[in-house]
A and B are shown apart, each in its own frame.
Chain A
Amino acid sequence: MERRSITVNSDFYCKIPLKVFFSFSKNVFVEKTSPSFIFMFDKEFGMNKNKSTDAASAHGDGTVIRIKSISKEFNGEQVLSEISLDIHDNEFVTLLGPSGCGKTTMLRIIAGFETPDKGDVYFGGQRINDLPPYKRELNTVFQKYALFPHLNVYENVAFGLRLRKKQDKLTEREIADRVKETLSLVNLSGFERRNVERLSGGQQQRVAIARALVNHPKVLLLDEPLSALDLKLRKDMQAELKNIQLKTGITFIFVTHDQEEALSMSDTVVVMAEGRIQQVGTPTDIYNEPINAFVADFIGESNIIDGVMLEDFSVRFAGHTFVCVDKGFKKNQRVDVVVRPEDVDVVAVDKGMVVGTVTSVVFKGVHYEMIVDIDNFKWMIQTTDYVSPGATVGLYIEPDAIHIMERSEYSGRFGDYSSFSDELDRLSNPDEEDGDEDGKDSSDDNQ
């Protein structure tokens, strides 16, 4: 049995402390060398069971939230099973997954709106399973903003401060200053007296962020906050959120189903599916070193082919033996091979490692996206050179364009481009679900 560990470096330096945040975030000033934390992926089960190493598990060294083997069931349906995750100070963590993967439930458990059936949640070393939401030092930005319609922008933002007015000995003056400062942080200065219901979606979004940030939480939870915005606005807000996170040094836990959003904003991406964590890592790790077919398929486009690892640095798939950069597998071990569409070169037939027939070509602006049929497996290839449909082409793949993964329960379910969604597959073959998988498995046995 082999273990491979991926090191996730969460080093994070904050350079621009905002005056207004002096009172709460010591970390903004302490330039600390946050320790790397290591997740061990248990290759035998084809699924990661991330365990922090001893160095990271000593609480107080930057771990803000620790989630320990959490399970949650709704009406007999397992929504989360045995989830464990450490979230560090100043980290921008994204929970990424398709709808129904449990990411929102996990966020709601951290916020305190749901209680886990099993497992524990720790906040700064303290177990908070039974702590009601209003006693937790974190705030949430809700999916549809959930602004209070009976209050104007100013009162919405001041809401949390007014509640702590006595406790924190805040004067009206101080509240006004903090609201003003936070509104300028989200570029909403001058909107104080506006009715929140008459604001645009993007402006409401900003109010929601300001309403949460003004309380100076240690952790900010964001539940798909950008999903209701149009594309351009979403991109602006992504940059702005990232910027706000850098400025304030608050830990962000961001939930999204948009992989591009996750890659462009996060320090750490947590890929979830079917109530389990599939992979935890930096955006580059997740993209370049996906742990299984699910992750490879969900993050970006991937051709996922059944292959056999002949020996270190040598893998056979699509009827050809390729040189690769991966090692540490058993001899003749069956593996999943990932080749990204942009990493395949289209060459003349005699120069190609494999030969296939182009079945369709779609112009995408930056490149052409073509589907190439190689032994009945449909590859997606992105190229800037036009090739007409029906042509026979050679494909050339560099060793470092090949990524080898352990087989998992997701093997054979993803990565063939006969269609883009599972749904279309099911619609076209209502009788034989997973028929494709069986077919591929048997052809694999012949190799």
Chain B
Amino acid sequence: MKQRSFMARICASPHIVWAIIFIVAPLLFVAYYAFTDQNGRFTFSNIAELSAHWETFLLSVCFSLIATAICLLIGYPLAYAISKAPAKRRSMLITLLMIPMWMNLLIRTYSLMAILDDGGFLNSLLGSIGIPEFHIVGTSGAVIFGMVYDFLPYMVMPIHSVLTKMDDRLSEAAFDLGCNRLEALLKVTLPMSLPGIISGVTMVFVPSISTFYISQKLGGGTIFLIGDTIEMQFQNPATYNVGAAISLVMMILILISVAVMNHFSEDSDDDGGIIL
């Protein structure tokens, strides 16, 4: 570690105090609850109880993986198109993308429900042109749609910022060396935007896997994800400890997956992008 100047320490101190109170302390509480029973005695029984939730956990992983993949498939071309647009239009497109983010996630999810619900906006619209009403809310498709809708900007923004910084001459160099448009995209643009893809994937996957309100609202009570499980445990003081244990394990799993992904991207930087 570099020696920091006195001024730097002073400036950093409010944040350090903040981080200790609101990040470190809650984490310690979670860890404490995870390893104690209701009477405060040390125990592994909370961890042992996790086995009852592994199916929910797997379902959550599937849902968030699908949502992340869809976000990437939609988000990358979108980010690419925005980054290639003329500067004026680009800032307009980015603003359009950001506007929904100014609204609370919960409210956005509610409004999405209002649109998709039986007798909601979409169904009445379809009904008016003679298409029979169909059931959307309560299907797994609706939950995944909600995740994609809520978290798509988190995928587009980091990819867009990497792509706009990329020198156009690099694509030209690829063309010059014999790449057609597709090859240039696959061999130069895509590997070079990998850092953006990785942070986008992380930023979509992590909130997707821990979400509870999206599955609650759009799942119509039929789809139960790990986030819902945790929320439920914390609504009853008697199951605080189990909730804490699930949270802790989730957090560790997410940390590991993020670390693996970051490692993967660093690797590709060093040994010449043979990933593709």
Contacting B170 at CB < 8 Å: which of A148, A152, A154?
A148
With A132-B180, A159-B177: A150-B268 Cβ-Cβ less than 8 Å: yes
A392 close to chain B: CB less than 8 A:
no
With A163-B178, A163-B179: A142-B270 Cβ-Cβ less than 8 Å: no
**Alpha-carbon gap, A163 to B172, bound state (A):** 15
Q: How far is the CB of B215 from chain A (nearest CB, A)?
A: 38
- Is the pair A142, B173 in contact by a Cβ cutoff of 8 Å? yes
With A113-B172, A133-B172, A146-B172: A152-B272 Cβ-Cβ less than 8 Å: yes
B54 close to chain A: CB less than 8 A:
no
- Is the pair B173, A150 in contact by a Cβ cutoff of 8 Å? no
Contact indicator per residue, chain A 137-152, by CB within 8 Å of chain B (1) or not (0): 0011011101111111
A-B contact pairs, 30 of them (CB 8 A): A132-B175, A134-B175, A134-B176, A134-B179, A139-B177, A142-B173, A144-B169, A146-B167, A146-B169, A146-B170, A146-B172, A148-B173, A148-B273, A149-B192, A150-B269, A150-B272, A151-B272, A152-B270, A155-B272, A155-B274, A159-B174, A159-B177, A159-B187, A160-B177, A163-B177, A164-B178, A195-B269, A211-B173, A212-B176, A215-B178
B191 close to chain A: CB less than 8 A:
yes
Name B172's closest neighbour in chain A (CB-CB).
A113
Which B residues are in CB contact (< 8 Å) with A144? 167, 169
Interface residues on A, range: 20 to 34
Q: How far is the CB of A113 from chain B (nearest CB, A)?
A: 6
Interface residues on B, range: 20 to 34
Please report A residues at the B interface, Cβ cutoff 8 Å: 111-113, 132-134, 139-140, 142-144, 146-152, 154-155, 159-160, 163-164, 195, 211-212, 215
Which B residues are in CB contact (< 8 Å) with A155? 272-274
Which A residues are in CB contact (< 8 Å) with B188? 148, 150
B183 close to chain A: CB less than 8 A:
yes
Contact indicator per residue, chain B 175-206, by CB within 8 Å of chain A (1) or not (0): 11111100100011001101000000000000
Contacting B177 at CB < 8 Å: which of A113, A143, A149, A211?
A211
- Is the pair A160, B272 in contact by a Cβ cutoff of 8 Å? no
Which A residues are in CB contact (< 8 Å) with B274? 155
Please report B residues at the A interface, Cβ cutoff 8 Å: 167, 169-170, 172-180, 183, 187-188, 191-192, 194, 268-274
Q: How far is the CB of B180 from chain A (nearest CB, A)?
A: 6
**Alpha-carbon gap, A155 to B172, bound state (A):** 17
- Is the pair A150, B273 in contact by a Cβ cutoff of 8 Å? yes
Contacting A150 at CB < 8 Å: which of B175, B177, B194?
B194
- 16 more A-B residue pairs beyond the given contacts A148-B174, A163-B179, with a C-beta to C-beta distance below 8 A: A113-B175, A134-B175, A140-B172, A148-B188, A150-B191, A150-B268, A150-B269, A154-B272, A155-B274, A159-B177, A159-B187, A163-B178, A163-B183, A195-B269, A215-B177, A215-B178
**Alpha-carbon gap, A154 to B273, bound state (A):** 12
Q: How far is the CB of A160 from chain B (nearest CB, A)?
A: 4
**Alpha-carbon gap, A133 to B172, bound state (A):** 8
